[in-house]
Amino acid sequence: MTMEMFILDETSTGEVDRREKVVAALTDSVRDLVDATIRSTVDDDEILAVREEVDALVSRLRAAQLAGPAGVRYNAEGRSWNWGNAVVGQHNALAPPLEIVHDGPGSARADVVLGAAYEGPPGMVHGGVAALLLDQIMGETASGFKRLTMTGTLSLRYRRGTPLGPVRIEGRIASESGRKITVQAHLAGPDGEPTVEATGLFIIPSWAPVDESDRTWARFAEG
Ligand SMILES: CCCCCCCCCCCCCCCC(=O)SCCNC(=O)CCNC(=O)[C@H](O)C(C)(C)COP(=O)(O)OP(=O)(O)OC[C@H]1O[C@@H](n2cnc3c(N)ncnc32)[C@H](O)[C@@H]1OP(=O)(O)O
């Protein structure tokens, strides 16, 4: 992986914001479709009829599409966007609808409601989903959008099951040493008691710009 894998895109910020909003509304509807598919008890004929309609909608969307994944893009105005990201991709219905808030340097939090699509043990959040959400928020905590960080090592302790429903995730930088940043985080259910605790080592890759005054880097940092 290199910095060149991040795509410089000429689309203006206004146009990116406009398009993001339009497709994000579709993303919400597709999340609803996923939930409905899991929980529906309508009869088989109705399922087959719905399937035909969904297949027709997929064909309409595929009439014009990217050759591969959405990637991470940025424009000359400093706006960056990663619409396909598995956790925060605005166009990705597999991503839970969470919004990460950066409280200040070295900390971040997110609230999200996890429904039937994120189930592992009965009525509980899947352990891999907890790890997925923690990884993203911890990576963003380490980065603070001021530097590129990648997950090196992630260690999780599942203290008890997390019921599906409202979940809060919080992360903070515990220490830093050169290109290595240690982040601590937890995930908690509605009672606020941590159900999963995490420690992660995030690494600024050797190929990434570390000087925040670097022009290439500055474009990302503002995103
Ligand atoms: C730019 C635009 C973006 C927008 C602005 C940014 C936004 C940003 C938001 C981020 C939010 C992402 C949240 C999801 C994050 C993922 O999901 S990232 C995907 C999962 N992770 C990966 O794929 C990483 C794969 N591994 C690698 O690419 C490389 O091994 C790494 C981790 C970059 C390290 O490579 P490297 O830089 O060549 O490291 P290297 O020089 O060998 O080692 C440096 C030090 O780290 C240690 N180290 C290396 N690897 C490890 C390891 N895995 N574990 C522990 N220690 C290690 C070494 O021992 C060494 O230690 P010292 O000897 O200095 O004490």
Q: What is the ipTM of this complex?
A: 0.94
**pLDDT at residue 222, as a whole number:** 41
Cα of 189 to ligand 1 centre, how many Å?
Answer: 30
Please measure the distance between the N-terminal and C-terminal CA atoms of the chain and give it in whole angstroms.
Answer: 20
CATH code of the region 98-208: 3.10.129.10
- Residue with CA at minimum distance from ligand 1 atom 52: 152
**pLDDT at residue 103, as a whole number:** 83
Judge if pTM exceeds 0.90. Answer: yes
**pLDDT at residue 1, as a whole number:** 79
Cα of 136 to ligand 1 centre, how many Å?
Answer: 14
Concatenating the DSSP letter of every residue in 130-196 gives: HHHHHHHHHHHHHHTTTS--EEEEEEEEE-S--BSEEEEEEEEEEEEETTEEEEEEEEE-TT--EEE
Q: What angle do CA 131, 132, 137 make, to 5 degrees?
A: 95
Mutate to test the pocket of ligand 1, among 92, 150, 216 (most ligand atoms within 8 A of CB): 150
Q: How far apart are CA 40 and CA 49, in angstroms?
A: 13
- Residue with CA at minimum distance from ligand 1 atom 31: 205
Radius of gyration of the chain, Cα coordinates, nearest whole angstrom: 19
User: Pairing state of beta strands 7-8 and 73-74?
Assistant: parallel
Residue stretches of the chain with pLDDT short of 50: 214-215, 217-219, 221-223
Domain with CATH 3.10.129.10 in the chain: 98-208
Cα of 208 to ligand 1 centre, how many Å?
Answer: 10
**pLDDT at residue 223, as a whole number:** 39
**pLDDT at residue 104, as a whole number:** 83
